[in-house]
Structure 1
Amino acid sequence: MTLAFYRPAAASSGLAASALPQLALLQAYIAQTLPASPRLTDAATALHMSSRSLQRLLQQSQCTFRGLVAQCRHQLAKQYLRQPVLSIQQIAIELGFEEQSSFQKAFKHWQGCSPGLYRQRCSQHTHALPAKGAPSASLQVTYGTN
């Protein structure tokens, strides 16, 4: 499963190119750690650096460890919600939320709508698109005169 993450704000403002691969590795570590709560010290060990070095890297990137965890959960939540076989409760558990209500509150904060509504919109969007290579239906509008 590939994840598309947001780039840190500093990525476009001249952050050292060597920091970007490390941030990508950190995001991958966080994704692999879920549903357990990722810890900065464990992430630093996995990346073969000290906790302080990881904190400096995050500071230079203008992001926080907690923010990256939230970002990873958000991206995974959107991917999982596109899969109708997973219930919202299962998704909440997979992302490390202790209660479904906590996941719903976080998702609404991230996305601006509930997980159920997001899933409904995604399924409507995929059903509304014609199959690749299928002829598209034309719509004829007739205007009446009053």
Structure 2
Amino acid sequence: MNDLRNRGLSIGQIATRTGLNVSAIRFYEDQGLVSPFRTAGGTRQFARSDIRRLSFVMIAQGLGFSIAEIRDALARLPEKRTPTKADWARLSAEFRTVLDARILQMQALRERLDGCIGCGCLSLESCALYNPVDRAAQRGAGPRYLMGDVPLED
């Protein structure tokens, strides 16, 4: 009898354990984020470690990482064995660096937000973020960037 740890899980079992829809799991498979194997009977089976991989995908997407960024990160995990705590710690440290930079950027935006609400840019006389020296006014009145204009290069 096969050891329980070596038996795969069906897509339905993975869906139940992760809370993902079967269609989402198939999408993530198509994107190369998980790689199920086929049994002798042709049934798709997932490794138990795929539960953690899919959970990581959901968390990373919730933090704003793209599928490509997530795929690149998961590609750095070992393929021939279940990732260890050290493997996940290394991966999370890489993401932490990106998240720290995003947090700083968001904090800076939050501090300037009162001048940017509804901008887009509305040809304000001064906008340190998107419309310095009122460059958008050169293109006419209204929310120029929201109307499809591209910000002018410096």
Same fold (TM over 0.5): no
Greater C-alpha Rg? 2
TM-score, normalization by structure 1: 0.30
Q: Considering Cα pairs closer than 8 Å and 6+ residues apart, tell me whether 1 or 2 has the greater RCO.
A: 1
TM-score, normalization by structure 2: 0.29
